[in-house]
Amino acid sequence: MDAAFWHNKWAQKDIAFHELQPNPLLVRWLETLPVQPGDRIFVPLCGKSRDIAWLLSKGYRVAGAELSPLAIEALFDELALTPTVTAAGKLTRFSATNLDIFVGDILDLSPSQLGEVDALYDRAALVALPEAMRDQYARQLVKLTDRASQLVICFEYDQQQLAGPPFAINHDELARLYHQDYDITSLQIKEVAGGLKGTCAALEHVWLLSAHRA
């Protein structure tokens, strides 16, 4: 899987992963993150997620990273915002009041470009990555956010029944990626209504990652 896979998804509008409403698990569990209105939340591989509009409506500042410029152009259109577009190294920064989205490869984003982050919300990023790409992604998030707390939503299912994405991420995989930096707490497990892509039974699992205390 490479960048062309996701560019094609957006070009073909094959975006079944896009939710039309704020994710109810974010709405339910955001309060577990150590943030308050005015703080800045980073949303990796954000697409045009409606979660961004919801976070902004609650008074948070939002930063995001996304590979597809089509997704971010659609995001700003749906938010009725006209972005200021500037270069940010190898990426392009789309900015408006309380909102900064970096378009390009998230691995090319630097902490100085991103700026300070108070927490991280990962609903569709980690589960979008095949196993070979996850270690580098996880290390990048730790570096970019200085171990900011994470709210992570994963799917758990029999990977043999569905090739992914989204890929199955269980506790062992999450711990493998993040145990050096975070305490990992299970918050909620719920069945995916109708199964994942209508194909196989699956669970949606919400995790809180809190940086180890010094």
- Residue ranges for the known binding site are 10, 45, 66, 123
Distance CA 9, CA 74 (A): 14
Count the helix, strand and coil residues of the chain and give each as a percent rounded to the nearest 5.
Answer: 35, 30, 35
Name, in order, each residue with C-beta under 8 angstroms of 87's C-beta and a sequence gap of 6 or more.
93
Helix extents (H) in 49-149? 50-57, 69-78, 111-114, 131-145
Residue list for the binding site for S-adenosyl-L-methionine: 10, 45, 66, 123
CA 200 vs. chain centroid, Å, equals 23
Query: How would you classify the pairing of strands 99-103 and 91-96?
Result: antiparallel
Strand-pairing partners, residue 85, are: 94
